Amino acid sequence: MKSRILAALLALGITVGAPAVATAADASANWPSKPVTFLVPFPPGGSTDFIARAVAQKVGEKLGGTFLTENKPGAGGTTGAAYAKRAAPDGSTILVSSLGPFVISPHLVSNPGYDARKDFDYITVAVQAPNVLVVNAKSNFHSLKDVMDYLKANPGKMTFASAGNGTSDHLTAALFWQETHTEGTHVPYKGGAPAIVDLLGGQVDASFSNINTCLTHVQAGKLRALAVTSAKRSPLLPDVPTMEELGFKGVTVTSWQAFAAPKGLPTTIRDKLRTAIVESLNDPSIKPKLLELGFEIVGNTPAEFTKFQAEEYDRWKRVIEVGHITTN
pLDDT digits (tens, 9 = 90+) for 59-106: 999 999 999 999 999 888 999 999 999 999 999 999 999 999 999 999
Residue 328, domain member (yes or no)? no
Instruction: Say whether both 189 and 259 belong to one domain.
Output: no
Helix 168-180 vs helix 144-153: crossing angle, to nearest 10 = 70
Q: Which residue, of 195, 229, 251, is where some domain finishes?
A: 251
Distance separating alpha carbons of residues 321 and 129, to the nearest angstrom: 25
Least confident of 13-17, 210-214, 317-321: 13-17
Instruction: Say whether both 122 and 134 belong to one domain.
Output: no
Alpha helices in the chain (DSSP H): 2-11, 47-63, 78-86, 99, 144-153, 168-180, 192-200, 211-219, 267-281, 287-292, 302-322
Residue 313, domain member (yes or no)? yes
Per-residue pLDDT reduced to its tens digit, 51-70: 999 999 999 999 999 999 99
pLDDT at 18: 46
pLDDT classification of 27: cutoffs 50, 70, 90: very low
Instruction: Say whether both 108 and 183 belong to one domain.
Output: no
Mean pLDDT calculated for residue range 205-223:
95
The domain that holds 279 is classified in CATH as 3.40.190.150
Please give the C-alpha separations between residue 207 and each of 41, 71, 171, in angstroms, as whole numbers: 25, 28, 11
Q: Which residue, of 251, 272, 292, is where some domain finishes?
A: 251
Instruction: Say whether both 139 and 213 belong to one domain.
Output: yes
Q: Which domain holds residue 93?
A: 2-128+254-322
Residue 327, domain member (yes or no)? no
Count of domains forming the chain: 2
- Please state the φ and ψ torsions of residue 15, each to the nearest 5 degrees: -105, 155
The answer to whether residues 189 and 202 touch, using CB atoms and an 8 Å cutoff, is no
